[in-house]
Amino acid sequence: MTPNETTPLAIAAEPLSPAAFMPFGDVAERPIDVRRRYLPTATDCAESAITFSHWISSAARLGTLPLQITTLERHPYSAQTFIPLGSSQYLAIACDTGPDGLPDVATLRCFVAGPHQSITFARNVWHHPMTVLGADMEFAVAMGMTGRQDDDVFVEIAGEVRAVMPQST
């Protein structure tokens, strides 16, 4: 599957906030004023996603923007949570699904997250693989799995689609 995007597209990075990220999932920020904050990963999954998996994942290190966006992924059976295990900023890039079921690249948004922010991409949300802006960093990842090959769905993005620094005003 490849979304056909022929017009060059530049997506300006913006700070991550729970309100801005709400269409794509959830943001948990530290410190919080409650003893325990439950993440929506385990509740945003299909009945067939019976195996709840946790793992440590390295993220691609970019250093600085721009970032050429060539691949997006989604998880049709479960939300996916990323908890940073370091002190770098990282990118959370997501978009809506088009009428054809493919990513609607015209709706792409790029958020710059701090190391105090964990994110959960909601089930079926198209998103870019985790990319770190600073020093190398790993993430604790949680997701429900069905054990089928389509727990992870990847698409290549055609055309020039880049995440860039915002224009200064």
Per the confidence metrics, is the pTM higher than 0.75? yes
Q: Give the span between the Cα atoms of 66 and 147, in whole angstroms.
A: 35
Contact (Cβ atoms closer than 8 angstroms) between residue 82 and residue 39: no
Q: What is the pLDDT of residue 41?
A: 78
Q: Residue 104 is encoded by which pair of tokens?
A: 């609607």
**Eight-state DSSP code of residue 101:** S
Q: Give the span between the Cα atoms of 168 and 36, in whole angstroms.
A: 39
Contact (Cβ atoms closer than 8 angstroms) between residue 10 and residue 164: yes
Query: CB 45: neighbour CB atoms within 10 A?
Result: 22
Ranges 43-47, 50-54, 63-67, 97-101, most confident = 97-101
Contact (Cβ atoms closer than 8 angstroms) between residue 158 and residue 7: no
Instruction: Select the more confidently predicted residue: 121 or 8.
Output: 121
**Three-state SS at 160:** coil
Q: What is the arithmetic mean of pLDDT over 111-140? A: 95
Which domains, and CATH codes, for the chain?
A: 9-29+38-164 (2.60.120.480)
Tens digit of each residue's pLDDT (9 = 90 or more) over 96-113: 999 999 999 999 999 999
Contact (Cβ atoms closer than 8 angstroms) between residue 152 and residue 75: yes
For the chain, what is the total number of helices (H) and then of strands (E)?
1, 15
Residue 145 has pLDDT above 60, yes or no: yes
Q: What percent of the chain has pLDDT over 70?
A: 95
- When pLDDT is cut at 50, 70 and 90, the band that residue 168 belongs to is low
